[in-house]
Amino acid sequence: MYIVKKKIGGADYYYLRKAVRKGKKVRSEFVAYLGKNKQEAEKKAKEMNEKISNINKPEIKQKHMEEKIESKEEIKQKQLTIDELANFCKKKGFVYASGEIYGGLGGFWDFGHLGAELKNNIKKEWWKFHVYRDDMAGIDGSIITNPKVWEASGHVKSFVDVAVVCKKCGNKTKIDKHEVGKKKCEKCNGEFVSKGEFNPMFTTQVGPIKEDSVQAYLRPETAQLIFADFKLVQENSRLQLPFGIAQVGKSFRNELSPREFLFRCREFEQMEIEYFIEEGMKCPYMEETKAVSILVYSEEMQKKNKEPELIEIYDAWKKEIIKTDWHAYWIAKEYEWFLSLGANPNNFRIRQHCSDEKSHYAVDTWDLEYKFPMGWRELQGFANRSNYDLSQHQKYSKQNMEILNKEGKKVLPHVVCEPSLGVERAFLVFMFDSYFYDEKRGNVVLKINSKLAPIKVAIFPIVKQPEYEKIAKDIIEDLRKEFNVLYDKSGSIGRRYARNDEAGTPYCITVDEDSLKKKDVTIRDRDTTKQIRVKISDLRETIRKLINREIEFEKAGKLVETRVK
């Protein structure tokens, strides 16, 4: 086995790979993700090599590789239940039940001072990664629109679930129409009784005078306004096929049983792309899908009761497991986005929808799934919507939705892939993958990627004296031009570090005696607790480079002895 370094979003990622003979060919296969630090990666690789050589028992061999080689840290992470995460989020100011003082309201959540920052940073990073490309335009449609949009899209007629109650344990849930009579209760395996069909779109009246008002809907997906506005956006942006239109915003679904904290909400946000091509157009970016391996669980594997397989996305496309190049490309891209922001690759897989579970508009759908504490669940959907939506809007609006291709021929584009991600589910992923309990420190350390961290820098004067506070305030004034900075002067330095570890603050700056004389400060790194000394005049640039991973912490200043944690 050997270590491979890959650069993703400017950061180094280390992977363990192995050479496998297949017939006459020797191929390189992914084994595990080793983290971002070279020395730690080498240590992990050594441990894994030892562990794997000890594992020869057949019952263990049958389990998937990534389950065999979890590090201790990952095991700890897994033990955190969704309710424990919800408690942590409430305690630290990330998320509260909406209107909690009145008992909350199922499926609605308020984001506190840290949660709002984290959520905004997720959306900001998503927008930068997906929209700032030559082939993408970003829009912001309204939540309530002409109800005909939802008639055309098929949501009024076909966006329907069946409400069921378990005969044995009384569990209330929703199932798809095709699951009636087949699906058993996931809690006790009991039989379900149907309580009839329901449409999860929220309705509202537009117009204050009842007789004149119109019934409208709160949008259940952001996607539809991308289709309805397609012609205008294309004309104004002058984009040529292939190109995408992206949108981030609120969606609403009157879920029968909102549950599992942020996993299933009634009000949530989506980050969606409709990627338009002329039918048959090849994806020119397939090289980018090489060396990106993920657990793949195709419809065939599910039907034959096979285990998911770890496959390079490029190979999955070449072997026609993933049918279209664009589908494979966007899956690889989205997975890369999560990894570039610190998510743990061992918690991801992709699963193809079986033919009877696809949405009314989809030709083929894959989900990026995440190993939540409650099991593998959908994190992000990738539907091939063909030209269903544009055809429907053309039919209902009587407007021509065709555009000219490069040869000047009119075409009705196809959406061969729609990457659709819920902000709240991404929020959960980043929280789970960065939550660690540090035994030595005796507190939680939220090792969240610095680009996502709600507070980038906390500043502590070591003592509450005017000359120290003056320097701290001057630093804050300068840093606040770019970053969210916290001024924290109460409690021991250890307590202040602990508070900021739990909030995920990557850097803490201490103004001490030397700062008065030498005009420099210490910066403490959250993950290693190492400290460097940096000139106050260089602080803003140093912090910027650290956040963007353009410089290693130890090379950003003079390393100092650490006396306090």
Q: Can you give the binding site for ligand GAP, defined by CB under 6 A? A: 221, 223, 253, 255, 264-265, 268, 270, 272, 378-381, 418, 420-422, 424-425
Tell me the C-alpha distance between 512 and 436, whole Å.
29
Tell me the C-alpha distance between 166 and 189, whole Å.
9
Alpha carbon 356 to chain centroid distance? 27
| CB 379 to ligand GAP: min, Å | 6
For ligand GAP, the closer CB: 258 or 345: 258
Tell me the C-alpha distance between 379 and 562, whole Å.
41
For ligand GAP, the closer CB: 336 or 424: 424
| CB 165 to ligand GAP: min, Å | 20
Tell me the C-alpha distance between 68 and 51, whole Å.
8
For ligand GAP, the closer CB: 94 or 497: 94
For ligand GAP, the closer CB: 265 or 462: 265
| CB 222 to ligand GAP: min, Å | 7
Tell me the C-alpha distance between 260 and 257, whole Å.
10
| CB 39 to ligand GAP: min, Å | 36
For ligand GAP, the closer CB: 419 or 461: 419
Cis peptide preceding 242, ω within 30 of 0:
yes
Nearest Cα neighbor of 281 from 135, 130, 127 is 135
| CB 30 to ligand GAP: min, Å | 24
Nearest Cα neighbor of 424 from 89, 100, 139 is 89
For ligand GAP, the closer CB: 16 or 262: 262
| Residue 391 DSSP SS3 | helix
| CB 396 to ligand GAP: min, Å | 18
282 CB contacts (<8 Å, ≥6 apart)?
A: 325
| CB 361 to ligand GAP: min, Å | 8
| CB 109 to ligand GAP: min, Å | 10
Which residue number has the CB closest to ligand GAP?
A: 422
| Residue 524 DSSP SS3 | strand
DSSP assignment of 153-167 equals HTHHHH--EEEEEET
| CB 329 to ligand GAP: min, Å | 18
Task: Label residue 106 exposed, middle or buried (CB < 10 Å: 0-12, 13-18, 19+).
Answer: middle
| Residue 259 DSSP SS3 | strand
Name residue 457's beta-bridge partners. Answer: 485, 507
For ligand GAP, the closer CB: 66 or 272: 272
For the chain, what's the residue count? 565
For ligand GAP, the closer CB: 378 or 482: 378
Tell me the C-alpha distance between 447 and 342, whole Å.
9
Rounding to the nearest 10 degrees, give the CA dihedral for residues 422, 301, 162, 423: 0
For ligand GAP, the closer CB: 69 or 164: 164
